[in-house]
Chains A and B, each alone.
Chain A
């Protein structure tokens, strides 16, 4: 319950980076800090520094042996996933490479189409031949925030897959992570690009509702393996809105 004390505007030094790293913010304050994370590289660096500092506290956390059932369940989930997604299996390399090639070619085509659309002042409706049944894909031309070329993204609602094509400049030892931002909500991770030129990311079922027309897709540079926090921590290198 707010009290008069809480209505006093916050004064004093700006500790938002530390507060975000500690995880005490919520609601509007958290959203505002997450927006700064995307827009202000110095703020992002500060948050990262605080996360490193606070990580020392993990040493105090008492370890508790996990029940044996958990690893059994994890193994079962991985086995089931392997069966559902044969392209990920080791013995299916050729098929996987072929799919990757097809996806990459498709995404390149989408980049060309998207770029053309962007260049036209009053674009006519363009029909894109869709190679899959179901709802048509949504596409986004993600404009680079610095130098570089646009990165194309296509979301296939039927398969729940986002394809990315274009060159993302990823410094050594860092990863490019793809985010979906719906309205003013906090960015949600769609995954890390294993390759800086193209990626195919399966959108988790829980996130499919927010990947839709007008959702902004963005790519940020994160520590190797992706943001450790679930929110972007590094600079955004490209962003663009999905269109039907």
Chain B
């Protein structure tokens, strides 16, 4: 088990990179983020900087992918962290993982931004759909877990067009109309693909529960 940290000891919470996540390092990375969030809620700027170090690359990746425009992505990232600063006071270790909560904020802010800009600046389909399928997840300490693996397994089990549409919607922040336009299929066809894909996905995930 080889584990590489950018920095030693105490600040290992700053952007830990592991080649192979084990349960202990997964839990400690999460615990470090939760603790930093709680201290951010007590207006601890150092803790806030730690949250930023641990999460900003992931959140910027999300903003950039959805906004496409680099300046827009930076603006959104700025707003996302101000939101985190403001809301961290109410944060309590909940059932969802903290990085998912933060990533959801970033994704939604980025989608809001892009929709305000109109569709002209949206990513071309090729761009929105080129997220490596599962390639990044092996080294993502904050996100690797069993539920994660299960979702990917189930997603791989559904029909390719359905899977591709669902992934494009998630990563590109695309609506039905945008998905249909990019794939040059009727809106009803796209809805049917996505719905059938989601239905199959639910069946698979429920069967596992």
Contacts and interface: CB of A to CB of B under 8 A. Distances in A.
18 contacts: A5-B189, A6-B186, A13-B195, A26-B176, A51-B104, A60-B131, A61-B58, A61-B103, A62-B65, A62-B136, A64-B57, A65-B60, A73-B74, A225-B90, A225-B94, A228-B96, A228-B105, A228-B108
Nearest to A78: B85
B111 interface: yes
Nearest to B170: A57
Interface residues of B, number: 81
B31 interface: no
A230 interface: yes
Contacts of B93: 173, 224
- Summarize B's interface: helix, strand, loop or mixed: helix
Closest 10 CB pairs between A and B? A59-B137, A56-B151, A63-B57, A55-B100, A66-B60, A228-B104, A224-B92, A59-B143, A225-B91, A5-B188
Interface of B: 43, 45, 48-49, 52, 56-62, 64-65, 74, 77-78, 81-82, 85-97, 99-101, 103-105, 107-109, 111-112, 131-137, 140, 143-144, 147-148, 150-152, 166-167, 169-171, 173-177, 179, 186-189, 191, 194-195, 198-199, 201-202, 205
Interface of A: 2-3, 5-6, 8, 10, 12-13, 15, 18-19, 22-26, 51-67, 69-71, 73-75, 77-78, 88, 90, 173-175, 191-194, 223-226, 228-230
Given A6-B186, A60-B171, 16 more contacts: A23-B169, A24-B174, A25-B176, A59-B144, A59-B148, A61-B103, A62-B136, A63-B57, A66-B57, A66-B77, A77-B82, A173-B93, A192-B87, A224-B94, A226-B87, A229-B108
B151 A58 contact: no
B186 A3 contact: yes
Contacts of A26: 175-177
